């Protein structure tokens, strides 16, 4: 609204005369109002333009800052790939400074701080290994691996690979030291399991060496057992060795040898048993039928002119015999039987290869000696005995 220069009443911009005083409104008042109206219209536009420029500049600044943050992040990733964890940590921290809301960079910072600590653990484990403190080194590596299991990604996998390599190196050093200490066969079996669990070319070579040592020990032990005819023990020893060296041609072949030797021994043993049975039967028959041999028998007269029969026998039995009796017959020069008699040998029991004697006097009153005057010969008719 404008004011009339004459009465100060309100007039509209399009009015030429004042409605209150009726006077004509001067032209310069309308032009001034138009310029004033133009200024009022331009001011908001100017403010809007300045605002737009300010906002645009701000967003342009933010974009530039974010771009630099991304560049820092990318640089950090390259450092991580190359294992330069401290440089990577510095780059990710710079990225967070350049862009506060950068969660991925913040996560990487947390991982790298842990990773730097784990690399220190790796170095410490290596130092412990060089000092032969293997168990302490392995415990430190296991703890590092447990910590690393919380993370995923290529960097975590790279660090895990470093831990595994250090563990393998520690286990190999421990393995070689144990082998140098002249282990027993049971210790060799344990060391073989440890070598196979490492999964490394060097460990595989050590495992092959251990297998050869086990095979040599098993072969030597089984050979001694076989020499002593302990076939079952020998076979069990070889089978136990084959559990650790299943492809050993030496043990496979020796197992076959043991089986053949066992079969041959059993056949020979069976023959010996059969021969022993036969020999025992022959011995029994001999003891039963031919246990005694006659050494001597003769006729003589004593001082009273009695006919005396005396003689000797020897036991050829393999067991004691007892109650031995000799039946004999006395003949004349025409080989006619004059009298038969039986006499017992003394001592009563004869052991193998012992001799016994017998003697009998024929008295006139008992034997009708008128017949014995012609006696010229005596011979054994039968010898009897009992076995224990």
pLDDT in tens, 17-75: 666 666 665 655 554 555 555 555 556 655 665 665 555 554 544 456 667 767 777 78
Rg (CA), the chain: 64
pLDDT over 50 (residue 367): no
Task: Indicate whether 82 belongs to any domain.
Answer: no
Is 196 in the same domain as 240?
yes
Q: Which of 337, 352, 354, 335 is nearest to 295 (CA)?
A: 354
Residue 320 is assigned to a structural domain of this protein: yes
What average pLDDT is seen over the chain?
Answer: 82
Q: Is the model's pLDDT at 76 over the cut of 90?
A: no
* 90-139 confidence digits (pLDDT tens): 887 877 777 777 777 777 788 788 888 888 888 999 999 899 898 999 99
Report how many domains make up the chain.
Answer: 4
Last residue of a domain, one of 179, 205, 231: 179
Residues 295 and 383 in one domain: yes
Terminal-residue alpha carbon distance, the chain: 165
Least confident of 57-66, 82-91, 260-269, 302-311: 57-66
If asked whether residues 148 and 174 sit together in one domain, one would say yes
Strands 10-11 and 337-344: unpaired
Among candidate residues 158, 179, 200, the one where a domain is terminated: 179
Give the range of the structural domain holding residue 30, as residue numbers without chain letter. Answer: 2-72
Q: Does residue 252 sit within a domain?
A: yes
* pLDDT one-digit tens code per residue, 247-256: 999 999 999 9
User: Does a structural domain hold residue 277?
Assistant: no
Q: Which of 130, 161, 179 is the last residue of a domain?
A: 179
Q: Give whichever of 77-81, 302-306, 321-325 has the largest mean pLDDT.
A: 321-325
pLDDT-based confidence at residue 213 (cuts at 50, 70, 90): very high
CB 378 within 8 A of CB 359: no
Same domain, residue pair 301 and 378? yes
DSSP label at 322? E
Band of residue 3 on the pLDDT scale cut at 50, 70, 90: low
**302 and 381 both lie in a single domain:** yes
């Amino acid at each position: 609204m404008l004011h009339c220069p004459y009465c100060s009443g309100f007039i509209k911009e399009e009015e030429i005369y004042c409605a209150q005083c009726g006077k004509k409104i001067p032209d310069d008042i309308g032009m001034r109002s138009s310029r004033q109206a133009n200024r009022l219209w331009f001011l908001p536009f100017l403010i809007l333009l300045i605002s737009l420029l300010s906002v645009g500049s701000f967003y342009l600044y933010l974009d530039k800052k974010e771009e630099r943050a991304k560049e820092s992040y990318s640089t950090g990733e390259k450092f991580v790939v190359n294992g330069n964890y401290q440089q990577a940590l510095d780059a990710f921290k710079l990225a967070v400074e350049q862009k506060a809301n950068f969660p991925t960079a913040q996560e990487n910072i947390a991982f790298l701080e842990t990773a730097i600590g784990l690399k220190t653990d790796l170095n410490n484990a290596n130092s412990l290994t060089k000092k032969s403190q293997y168990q302490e080194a392995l415990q430190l590596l296991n703890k590092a691996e447990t910590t690393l299991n919380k993370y995923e990604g290529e960097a975590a996998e790279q660090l895990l690979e470093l831990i595994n390599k250090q563990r393998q190196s520690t286990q190999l050093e421990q393995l070689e030291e144990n082998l140098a200490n002249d282990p027993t066969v049971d210790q060799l079996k344990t060391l073989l399991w440890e070598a196979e669990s490492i999964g490394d070319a060097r460990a595989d070579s050590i495992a092959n060496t251990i297998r050869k040592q086990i095979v040599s020990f098993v072969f030597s032990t089984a050979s001694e057992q076989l020499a002593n005819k302990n076939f079952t023990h020998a076979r069990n020893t070889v089978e136990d060795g084959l559990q650790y060296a299943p492809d050993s041609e030496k043990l496979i072949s020796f197992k076959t040898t043991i089986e053949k030797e066992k079969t041959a021994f059993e056949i020979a043993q069976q023959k010996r048993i059969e021969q022993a049975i036969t020999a025992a039967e022959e011995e029994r028959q001999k003891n039963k039928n031919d246990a005694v041999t006659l050494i001597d028998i003769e006729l003589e007269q004593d001082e009273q002119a009695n006919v005396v029969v005396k003689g000797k026998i020897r036991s050829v039995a393999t067991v004691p015999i007892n109650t031995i009796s000799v039946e004999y017959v006395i003949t004349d020069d025409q080989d006619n039987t004059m009298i038969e008699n039986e006499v017992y040998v003394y001592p009563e029991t004869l052991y193998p290869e012992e001799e016994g004697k017998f003697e009998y006097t024929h008295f006139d009153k008992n034997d009708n000696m008128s017949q014995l005057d012609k006696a010229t010969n005596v011979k054994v008719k039968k010898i009897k005995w009992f076995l224990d």
